[in-house]
Structure 1
Amino acid sequence: MAVSLDTVNAHSQHGAVEILSAADQARIVADQPALPPESPLAMPVQSLRAWPRKDTRKPLISRSKPWLARLFVFAGALGLTGWGAFEMYRVVSVSGVTALQWALVALFTVNFSWIALAFTSAIVGFLALLWRRCTPPIPKQLQSKTVVVMPVYNEATSRVFASLQAMYEEIEATGLVDHFDFFILSDSTQPNAWIAEERAFWALRERLGPKARFYYRHRQKNVGRKAGNIEDFVTRWGGAYEHMLVLDADSLMTGACITRLAAAMEADPDAGIIQSLPLIINRNTLFARLQQFAAKIYGPVIATGLAVWSGREGNYWGHNAIIRTRAFAAHCGLPHLSGKPPFGGHILSHDFVEAALIRRAGWTVYMLPDLEGSYEESPPSLIDLATRDRRWCQGNLQHARVIGAAGLTLPTRQHFATGIFSYLASPLWLAQLVVGIVLVLQTRYVRPEYFTKEFSLFPAWPRFDAERALQLFGITMAILLAPKLFGLILALIRGSLRRASGGGFRLVVSALVEVIMSALLAPILMVIQSGAVFQIIAGRDTGWNPQRRDDGSIPFRDIVRRHRVQMLLGIFTGLSAFMIAPSLFGWMSPTILGLVLAIPISAASGMLSWGLALKRAGLLLTPEETSPPPIATRANALMRELDADGFDEDNAVRAIHADPQFRSRHEAMLPAAHRRKRGEIDRDRAVAEAKLMDAESIEDATEWLHPKEAMVVLHDRALLGQLASLPERREAAAA
């Protein structure tokens, strides 16, 4: 019996889809192509050198800018910075100011400006959250079509497809699932990961039935990385969708959050990008639980302050955001920067630039920090964070070549400047510490110059006002910790949040644990980020490695290798400071302690046992831990079920050999074969073909084919045919 998809849809609309047997539904799923018909959109490359003002669209709805909030944030930060610079000058100017002391004042001023801006922005966020607005209701209907896109790059399929199914089921529960399609956009370069994705995709379709519109596309070459992955989708299928919701491989969003974002985009004809605020969930290692706690308690204060003063000239973080597809296509084609990486080539941190370009064209970009139900995961250890942070560091420093682009708004340039300085702050802090040590060394061991060129009755001896220095240090620390204090106060005065975080006492203790651990981690991260900045300036490219998302520990020898420099630096700095002056050692003790303990701190950061021990003690708890969101519970249960399928552990070549039906589906998904020129020999293909010709069984093929050669075979219909003809075992071939 032939059953069309139109028939299924017709029955579904009348609530009668159950009349189809499981076999009929499976047959329909098998007949559905992996991809829908293409609906191209042009995505022209944008110029950074010129932007005609006439190309900036006029807003359809007139809105005032948050000038008062901006005045408070930036004027307040400027005033605080001026006060801090003056106080530091008074600390060092007891008896004249030397060149080194001027350098210390300058470095302190730059570093202090960073925390002053964070402080004034946090005040705005704190005040805004005191008068928190109600979350809008779940919409009863939508008018437009939205596509949910999840780019993947060598990820565990059980995690990715469990999240996608959980999100689909949540949207289905709202009754608005007909307004959403789902695309898995694979850039995977490992054969086992690619074939696991395809098998998981077909299994997902069979589980959900023919009504679920899931599609899968794999790129043979991941040109442009994630930005290129999204661009490829937009230029091929973007025309079919008014909006696209961009996820990350670890994203999880409730149906209520997704539909509210879609409704917000429909209600605002000027919106180009609307960003949600993702919270961290599902983490159990010590380091990840510290991040999880901080994101829940302190994150809303910082994010809300940023959202208030940015207004509709905000930023985009690359995922868990909804985008107007045609506006994105028309204005967000990323140029390649001249020169070689790390400062040239493809733009790594594409999200900031896409927000800048779409905003330049007159569309608004803003965040809805009150919108609940948006989640992500975090790196499980300090080393994993450092690996990801290295790539972000290069991308943000690369923005130094974009910040001056024509037509950008002032808030957009501020976002770029903030991102750049977030990484330059580490080497500047390191430089400030070095200058401070040198100055103390000079006052203790270097003979003063009694007779300078200028007439003076007294020698030019570098001296400090110790009492004023201590007061300035205390105020600086108070300003630095104030955003965390604001978040803690909000958590304490909100009964539901306080109770779900373990109660008032445990919440305060958790905050103290987080502050202490952050203080110990800060100098380690300072050295790591300083090293990354120096490497990038020296011309070293970071590459693009997949992110580790499990809760596993790292071999101790790798930890020692990664942190031995920090430990040795801490020992050297501690001994030097103590020999110079015990008071200097005391002043620098938090930094010295963090560096000396870098190896055990890093080892502890990735330990499940430490994180779970604190969890059992009721510390670092978040509401999402004490009462997990239903979507997280469902996704975790699905992940355990999908783990049992073993797709991620199976060898790709063996899997495609063992299942003729899957091999047929795989071949149907491959693009048209590339016609090679005469005399043009692909080395990997030639080697793969030779190995297949020599192979007497599939065992030989799986043993001999290297990953690159396996990828060639999996992309080539002729070689797949050769592979399919091999017997299962060598003995069978001999028989």
Structure 2
Amino acid sequence: MDTVGKVHGSSWRGDPHQNQFLPLESPMEMAVQPLRARQPQIQASEFATAWPRRACILAGTVLLTLAGCYEMYQVLQVGGVTILEWIILVLFVLLFAWIAFSFTSAIAGFFVLLFRSKDKLGIDSAAALPAIESRTALLLPTYNEDPYRVLARLRAICESVEETGCAARFDWFVLSDTTDPAVWIAEEACFLRLRRELGQDVRIFYRHRPQNTARKSGNIEDWVKRFGSNYECMLILDADSLMTGDSIVRLVAAMEQHQHVALIQTLPIVVNARTLFARWQQFAGRLYGPLIAAGIAWWHGSEGNYWGHNAIIRVRAFARYAALPELKGRKPFGGHILSHDFIEAAFMRRGGWAIHMAPTLRGSYEECPPSLLDFAARDRRWCQGNLQHLALLPARGLHWVSRLHLLTGIGSYLTAPLWFIFLVLGILVSLQAQFVRPEYFPKGFSLFPTWPAQDPILAAWVFVATMGMLILPKLLAWIVMLTHGDERRKFGGGFRVLAGILAETLLSGLTAPVMMIFQSSAVGGILLGRDAGWQVQRRDDGAVSREDTLRKYSVPTLFGVAMAVSAYVVSLPLLLWMMPVILGLLLAIPLATLSSSASAGTASSLFRTPEETSPPQVLLRANELANASHRQISCPLLELRGNAGLREAHFNNLSGPGLRNRGEVDPHLAIARAKIEDAESFDEAAGFLSPREKFAVLHSPAVLGALLDLQSP
């Protein structure tokens, strides 16, 4: 029997006119933005309030860099400066300027928080909850994530918004780019259950894209084009995002009050850390993050940045100015823009809209990768996205602060290979001084020979000053914490936090050289043309197999051995001088094993945060829902066959065959049709299909109906 030929009469089909997952479409146009555009007029009042702050930051950076450059030159000029030493000096100036820039911004953040300065938007978490009038869509893009945890967090946010009394002003959209067929069907099942449990008063919708073109930016763009005109704002979440209803309503109210603002970015706080690595990242972000964020918000002003999630965006500004072009050339530099958020913010600012940050708004949360390897994998993708921005720097019309954001993102990855080259050259200079015979009779007149030499005492002071600029912001954040009695108690007291700072600094210092190797390798791979792809981020307990640990951390360990031998050959003092770097590399494998351990994370009480001591209700509710028992879907086809409600909903939300050009054939679907025709039973056909073929079948009503019509053995 031709099973595929009888599909249109299949009893498995639902009502094609009924759509359970989506509302009526309300399209909005989005035109791709050119890289060349006119510069909009900047309002004089905004520029007048911003330039003194920016002048302070830039002047402080320049003065500190000049001082550091002078001192380093004094270190190297003893006996004359060789070519290698000139290269070292140039690298030191670049790296020291990077540190000085971050340091001056942190100093600004310290005074902002110390004197409780209000942000320009006037958002006050302690004030009464404002009333709101506009409609807002909360968008949750997801890609092969655990749907049970994702929708548990979404339900907790929904319930928190409902407690504010403003739930009628919000619609909720789960925007799936999932390619795993089992995860896709599980998402639909979880969505239907969530909608049923929340009731008809909550407007929650689900959309799945057959092709995840342009990844997350394309996912959001697709929603804007189909539904955007019904909403004033959209609030973008990530799969691991969590926000309180209070913070969401305050963001909407701020957008209503400031009609010239296109985007407000919150400061997400890391929660739910379990492993040692995640817990010290959580502690550092919670303690130092507000100070850093307050500093950059102070001088960014209306030229802020966008981090891709936990931010509210004005839909019409996004639709008019944030449709991204596709970059020319091949991957990794060409194609769709990976780090789209920076560019979307820059383009909206180019269009005359303000971009702000709300660093003091509480109630915005996210999660952290559980291990250094997971962190490095995510960082590799970010590295490629930020290096893509090299092609966008010359774009016309961008505000100079927006260009500075792009440069900062690029520099955050280029500094790793620069540090590596700096260390290697330092060893080479020492080897040169130890083994290369000085030229006692150089060409031209000279009373004295010239050979490499440095001032070790002054070098020690330069090192101390550099370390001080890295550590002082942490102590300033500690001082700010001490001035907030409630927060100090929730952290566990001033002495406990100080001990936590020391432990975090030690652990971060040991892992920094390993990240330097990982990031240098990532930059090198990208420059050689290797594409990072888009891997699903792990959010489990962080356990890494022994084989993966040895394979991934063997390269940093070998670099550590090479550096240790080279330094020891020169002198024991040089080995001791470089020990902070060498020790981190030599201990890469045992430290990786320890830091990815959940038991070690549980024992690290020094890294307690206020969200652990007194967790917000939305976090408790999300974890309660996520920890509830749920059944994993192993075979999506079998699940559809046995669940009539899910099957009908799935069919109702599949588009018809549509129009295609002659000769255009989906090879996965074609192979699946052939396998289904060749099978004698449903179980046999399901066993024949690969995951990619199952995905194609799930998108085809005709072929899926034919498969479900097959009899069981």
Fold similarity call, TM over 0.5:
yes
Q: Tell me the CA shift for residue 136 of structure 1.
A: 5.3
Q: Tell me the CA shift for residue 538 of structure 1.
A: 0.7
The letter of the residue matching 1:602 is A
CA distance in 2, matches of 1:175, 1:88: 61
Residue range with higher mean Cα deviation, 361-370 or 713-722: 713-722
Q: Is the 8 A contact 1:138 1:256 kept in 2?
A: no
CA distance in 1, matches of 2:327, 2:270: 33
Question: How is 1:446-525 mapped onto 2 (pairs within 5 angstroms)?
Answer: 446-525=436-515
CA distance in 1, matches of 2:326, 2:680: 47
Identical amino acids, percent of aligned pairs: 49
Post-superposition CA distance 1:595-621 (Å, at most 9, x none): 11111111222110110011xxx3100
Distance 1:437-1:594 versus aligned 2 partners, 3 A rule: same
1:402 aligns with 2:389: no
The letter of the residue matching 2:623 is N
Q: Tell me the CA shift for residue 44 of structure 1.
A: 0.5
1:41 aligns with 2:28: yes
**Map of 1:51 onto structure 2:** 37
Q: Tell me the CA shift for residue 679 of structure 1.
A: 4.7
CA distance in 1, matches of 2:555, 2:63: 39
Scaled by the length of structure 2, the TM-score of the pair is 0.95
Q: Tell me the CA shift for residue 660 of structure 1.
A: 2.4
1:318 aligns with 2:308: yes
Distance 1:57-1:222 versus aligned 2 partners, 3 A rule: farther
The letter of the residue matching 1:96 is G
**Map of 1:631 onto structure 2:** 618
CA distance in 1, matches of 2:47, 2:41: 14
**Map of 1:640 onto structure 2:** 627
Post-superposition CA distance 1:362-384 (Å, at most 9, x none): 10001000100000001000000
The letter of the residue matching 1:344 is G
Post-superposition CA distance 1:248-303 (Å, at most 9, x none): 11000000000000000000011000001000001110111011000110111111
**Map of 1:98 onto structure 2:** 82
Q: Tell me the CA shift for residue 61 of structure 1.
A: 8.2
The letter of the residue matching 1:533 is V
Q: Tell me the CA shift for residue 640 of structure 1.
A: 1.9
Q: Is the 8 A contact 1:59 1:270 kept in 2?
A: no
Q: Tell me the CA shift for residue 410 of structure 1.
A: 1.2
1:605 aligns with 2:595: yes
Post-superposition CA distance 1:52-82 (Å, at most 9, x none): 24xx377698674322221221100110001
Q: Is the 8 A contact 1:125 1:301 kept in 2?
A: yes
Q: Tell me the CA shift for residue 650 of structure 1.
A: 3.1
CA distance in 1, matches of 2:291, 2:440: 53
Q: Is the 8 A contact 1:185 1:217 kept in 2?
A: yes
Q: Is the 8 A contact 1:271 1:363 kept in 2?
A: yes
Of 167, 171, 177, 1:181 maps to 171
Q: Is the 8 A contact 1:60 1:269 kept in 2?
A: no
The letter of the residue matching 1:177 is A
Distance 1:43-1:61 versus aligned 2 partners, 3 A rule: farther
Post-superposition CA distance 1:466-514 (Å, at most 9, x none): 1100111101100111211111221233222221112222111111110
Of 329, 342, 345, 2:335 maps to 345
**Map of 1:427 onto structure 2:** 417
The letter of the residue matching 1:340 is R
1:716 aligns with 2:700: yes
1:543 aligns with 2:543: no
Question: Unaligned stretches of 5+ in structure 1?
Answer: 1-29, 731-735
Aligned residues: 691
CA distance in 1, matches of 2:508, 2:95: 18
CA distance in 2, matches of 1:607, 1:625: 19
**Map of 1:12 onto structure 2:** none
Residue range with higher mean Cα deviation, 557-566 or 487-496: 487-496
CA distance in 2, matches of 1:365, 1:308: 13
**Aligned partner of residue 447 in structure 1, secondary structure:** coil
**Aligned partner of residue 599 in structure 1, secondary structure:** helix
Q: Tell me the CA shift for residue 645 of structure 1.
A: 2.9
**Aligned partner of residue 530 in structure 2, secondary structure:** coil
Question: How is 1:570-581 mapped onto 2 (pairs within 5 angstroms)?
Answer: 570-581=560-571
Distance 1:604-1:524 versus aligned 2 partners, 3 A rule: same
Q: Tell me the CA shift for residue 681 of structure 1.
A: 3.9
**Map of 1:692 onto structure 2:** 676
Post-superposition CA distance 1:629-680 (Å, at most 9, x none): 1100000111122xx231x443211111111221111011112213444554
Q: Is the 8 A contact 2:19 2:652 kept in 1?
A: no
Post-superposition CA distance 1:121-180 (Å, at most 9, x none): 000000000122453535342111000000000000111101111111111111101110
CA distance in 2, matches of 1:362, 1:679: 46
Of 67, 74, 89, 2:51 maps to 67
Post-superposition CA distance 1:190-244 (Å, at most 9, x none): 1011111111111111001111100110000000000000000001101110000
CA distance in 1, matches of 2:665, 2:32: 33
**Aligned partner of residue 431 in structure 1, secondary structure:** helix
Q: Tell me the CA shift for residue 579 of structure 1.
A: 1.4
Of 650, 655, 659, 2:639 maps to 655
CA distance in 2, matches of 1:602, 1:588: 21
The letter of the residue matching 1:473 is F
**Map of 2:13 onto structure 1:** none
Post-superposition CA distance 1:75-120 (Å, at most 9, x none): 0011000110110000010111111111111111100001101110
**Map of 2:217 onto structure 1:** 227
Of 84, 88, 91, 2:68 maps to 84
Distance 1:239-1:99 versus aligned 2 partners, 3 A rule: same
**Map of 2:691 onto structure 1:** 707
Q: Tell me the CA shift for residue 403 of structure 1.
A: 1.5
**Aligned partner of residue 49 in structure 2, secondary structure:** coil
Of 121, 134, 157, 2:105 maps to 121
**Aligned partner of residue 430 in structure 1, secondary structure:** helix
**Map of 2:649 onto structure 1:** 665
Q: Is the 8 A contact 1:92 1:465 kept in 2?
A: yes
CA distance in 2, matches of 1:318, 1:434: 36
Q: Tell me the CA shift for residue 185 of structure 1.
A: 0.4
CA distance in 2, matches of 1:577, 1:58: 54
Distance 1:135-1:683 versus aligned 2 partners, 3 A rule: closer
The letter of the residue matching 1:371 is L
CA distance in 1, matches of 2:342, 2:294: 18
Residue range with higher mean Cα deviation, 402-411 or 57-66: 57-66
**Aligned partner of residue 463 in structure 1, secondary structure:** coil
Of 145, 150, 154, 2:135 maps to 145
Distance 1:269-1:64 versus aligned 2 partners, 3 A rule: farther
CA distance in 1, matches of 2:431, 2:451: 13
Scaled by the length of structure 1, the TM-score of the pair is 0.92
**Aligned partner of residue 239 in structure 2, secondary structure:** coil
- For the aligned residue pairs, the C-alpha RMSD in angstroms reads 1.6
**Map of 1:619 onto structure 2:** 606
CA distance in 2, matches of 1:224, 1:202: 27
Q: Is the 8 A contact 2:183 2:633 kept in 1?
A: no
The letter of the residue matching 1:620 is F
Query: Does 1 or 2 have the higher relative contact order (CA < 8 Å, sep 6+)?
Result: 2
Q: Tell me the CA shift for residue 697 of structure 1.
A: 3.3
The letter of the residue matching 2:292 is I
**Map of 1:156 onto structure 2:** 146
CA distance in 2, matches of 1:718, 1:240: 33
**Map of 1:22 onto structure 2:** none
**Map of 2:362 onto structure 1:** 372
**Aligned partner of residue 341 in structure 2, secondary structure:** helix
The letter of the residue matching 1:407 is G
Distance 1:679-1:260 versus aligned 2 partners, 3 A rule: closer
Q: Tell me the CA shift for residue 330 of structure 1.
A: 0.3
**Map of 1:582 onto structure 2:** 572
